[in-house]
Amino acid sequence: MNRLIYRAMDPHQAPAKGDNFGCVYILEDAAGDIIYVGQTQSWRERRWGHAHDKPWWPDVEVAHCLIHTHDGSVDEMLRMQTRYSQTELALIRRWQPKYNVKSTARDPRTVAAAARRTQAATCPTTGGQEQVAAL
C-alpha cells in the first residue's frame, strides 16, 4: 500500500539511522520563507551533503519532508522517483526558492526516459531481479 507521509524535522540534528528515506524536502528559514526545495533517495546523505557544502545551510530552520511509501518493487520505486521529480519541479516553479538553481531541477521526462532505458535492476528491498516496466 502506498501512502504519503509528512515529517517536519530539525535539519541541524543528525538523522537517526532509521531516517534514511527518499523524499521531497522543503527547507525554511527562521522567518518561515521557503529557501530551498529538493528531492533525494537518501535524506540522511543529502542532509549531510548540504550541511557540509552549502554556505546557506545555517539559514535553514525547518526541513519538511514528503515521503511516498512503496511496496519495494523496482517498478514502484521508479514511479516514486518520477513523482519526486515532478513534485520538486512543481514546487520550485511555484515558490522560486532563493537558493535553488532552476537549471538543475530535474525534468520528470528525463527521469522517466532513464527508467525506460533500464531493462532490469536489483531490487534493494528484496535483493531479487525484477523486470522494469515502462512508465
Structure confidence at residue 74 (pLDDT) = 82
Which domains are delineated in the chain? Answer: 4-131 (3.40.1440.10)
Cβ within 8 Å of residue 42, ≥6 positions away: 20, 21, 22
| pLDDT band, residue 46 (cuts 50/70/90) | very high
- pLDDT for res 2: 67
At 117 the pLDDT is 43
pTM score of the predicted model: 0.72
Kindly state the helix (H) or strand (E) to which residue 6 belongs, with its residue range: strand 4-9
Local confidence band at 112 (pLDDT 50, 70, 90 cut-offs) = low
